[in-house]
């Protein structure tokens, strides 16, 4: 949805923000390919590990693309939120992979509930941030305050 919106904005010359278009396109491709692989395979017990790898590779691709193509530009808030969201999701998928695949745990506990709510919330936050491109949670503001205190 965010990819289509930014693509239309770019084509119609409403807003030519290539950072947001790149971030939303990378996120779309990653989610589309990972979902396609998971759906095409019967239920894989290492599903959380696969999702962790996809989010990690997406985060690295986004970081490298942003650093390579936009190193002289200010980092857009939507891209920052997406990077933070991908990092959080990667950690949560990795913890679930360890719990379900390595330890073979099948009993629900706090991690499973935290994972369920956090991953869905973070996905919503990433897409919303790519759409509005505003610091609506105050993360960039908090980072600037911490940097000012440290310096």
Q: Do 4 and 130 touch, CB atoms closer than 8 A? A: no
Q: What DSSP string describes 58-109?
A: HHHHHHHHHHHHSTTSPPPHHHHHHHHHHHHHHHHHHHHHIIIIIS---S--
Taking the model in full, what pTM does it have?
Answer: 0.88
- Per-residue model confidence (pLDDT) at position 54: 94
Distance CA 14, CA 17 (A): 9
The interaxial angle of helices 47-69 and 18-40, nearest 10 deg, is 160
Residue 13, pLDDT above cutoff 70: no
Helix (H) or strand (E) holding 39: helix 18-40
Residue 9, pLDDT above cutoff 80: no
Q: Do 101 and 51 touch, CB atoms closer than 8 A? A: no
- Per-residue model confidence (pLDDT) at position 17: 83
Q: 92-105 pLDDT, tens per residue?
A: 999 999 999 999 99
Distance CA 71, CA 50 (A): 30
Report how far apart, in Å, the C-alpha atoms of 67 and of each of 55, 75, 79, 93 are.
18, 9, 12, 26
């Amino acid at each position: 949805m965010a990819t289509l919106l930014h693509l239309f904005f770019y084509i119609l010359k409403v807003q030519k923000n290539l950072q947001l278009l790149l971030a939303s396109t990378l996120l779309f491709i990653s989610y589309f390919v990972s979902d396609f692989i998971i759906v095409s395979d019967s239920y894989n017990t290492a599903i959380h590990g696969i999702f962790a790898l996809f989010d990690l590779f997406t985060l690295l691709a986004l970081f490298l693309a942003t650093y390579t193509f936009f190193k002289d530009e200010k980092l857009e808030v939507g891209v920052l939120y997406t990077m933070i969201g991908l990092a959080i999701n990667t950690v949560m998928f990795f913890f679930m992979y360890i719990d379900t695949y390595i330890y073979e745990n099948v009993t629900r506990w706090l991690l499973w509930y935290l994972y369920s709510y956090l991953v869905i919330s973070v996905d919503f936050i990433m897409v919303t941030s790519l759409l509005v491109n505003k610091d609506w949670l105050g993360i960039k503001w908090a980072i600037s305050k911490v940097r000012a205190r440290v310096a």
